[in-house]
Amino acid sequence: MRQFDVFVLNRAGNSELNRTTNSGLNCAAAPEPPFTDPALGWFFTDSFNKRLNESDAEWIVFADSSIDITRDFLNNLAETISAFPMVDAFAPRIRCEKTRAEATETAAEPAQENGLARGEANVQWESGFILDKKQGVRPIPEDSKIRYAAGPSPRLAAFSRRIVQRTGAFDESLPIESQLLDYSLRMLHAGGKMFYVPYLVANENTIFASNNRRDADKLDVNGLSSNNFDKNLIPVLYKSLGFGKVLPLILRRPSTIMPILKNRKELGAKRDKATVLTKLKENFLKELY
């Protein structure tokens, strides 16, 4: 059995990135792994589900093609897994180089007093999510220490094989930006837990940063944008957390009421399937805020 399988998702809009990356990944024809190892499997796909049954590794990394999966990152992940054997999934941080325009806008701002970010004025960080009573979810604060997470970045997560077997397939009826969050919330009902560990860091590909950051809102680089909020977030939270948790969001965004009513039977069936054998306890749910 391999230690890691890495699923690299070719998301629409990354055409420039798919031709070349700073790892030397040349995807003009068929994608090639940036490096190989007997303990490592690579799966390049436009759908996480397509090849999920081919994986037999102990841990599976799900990554967007905008993320630079390196040997150092996987070694760091292996050490983190060893340090927290009771955890079933991890939400890594993503180190993003600011574009020239972004760096100019923030040139006068002090560097963040975060251990990893201190002195790096041209760097911004992307992390996972915690739950929020008003917004549904919000990014994990950059000064957070090790803690439980409700979900990872839309672009990177790691799950143990044992929890993937219990959680099942991804819900590909959802926008791709929402699928990892949905999977993580469903994982909670399967008895899993996700950790945010601030020193577990991957880098964004520099070519993605320079060519595609202008599409950040479209690609939800900094999280789940307010665009298509009803499609991105409310169905996800309703499936795993119930109507009571999404009601404040619906009331603040009346335009989301009709899509929920229109799809209530389908969403109800998905909720029943996700929660029928739930192991999620209310006292643990409080730790995700």
Residues 6+ apart with CB under 8 A from 196: 90, 91, 93, 127, 128, 140, 144, 146, 147, 148, 149
The answer to whether 153 touches 138, Cβ cutoff 8 Å, is no
| Per-residue pLDDT at 281 exceeds 70 | yes
Please report, for residues 35, 52, 107, the alpha-carbon distance to residue 233 in angstroms, rounded to integers and kept in the order given: 35, 24, 33
- What burial letters (b/e) apply to 7-16, b meaning 16+ CB within 10 Å? bbbbbeebee
Q: What is the pLDDT of residue 241?
A: 93
- Burial (0-12, 13-18, 19+ Cβ within 10 Å), 85: exposed
pLDDT tens string 200-224: 999 998 776 555 544 444 444 344 5
- Burial (0-12, 13-18, 19+ Cβ within 10 Å), 22: middle
The answer to whether 237 touches 136, Cβ cutoff 8 Å, is yes
Which residue in this structure is represented by tokens 């999977």? 183
Average pLDDT over residues 14-33: 46
Q: What is the pLDDT of residue 240?
A: 94
Residues 6+ apart with CB under 8 A from 79: none
| Per-residue pLDDT at 230 exceeds 50 | yes
Q: What is the pLDDT of residue 229?
A: 59
Specify the 3-state DSSP secondary structure of 129: strand
Q: How many angstroms separate the most distant Cα atoms in the chain?
A: 53
pTM over 0.85: no
**Structure-block tokens of residue 242:** 């119930």
Which residue in this structure is represented by tokens 């490592």? 40
Q: What is the pLDDT of residue 234?
A: 87
Q: What is the pLDDT of residue 81?
A: 98
The answer to whether 157 touches 126, Cβ cutoff 8 Å, is no
CA distance 21 to 213: 15
pLDDT tens string 118-156: 446 688 899 999 999 888 899 999 899 999 999 999 999
Average pLDDT over residues 85-109: 73
Q: What mean pLDDT, rounded, does the chain reach?
A: 82
The answer to whether 158 touches 126, Cβ cutoff 8 Å, is no
Supply angle C-alpha 21, 27, 29, rounded to 5. 160
| Per-residue pLDDT at 251 exceeds 50 | yes
Q: What is the pLDDT of residue 196?
A: 98
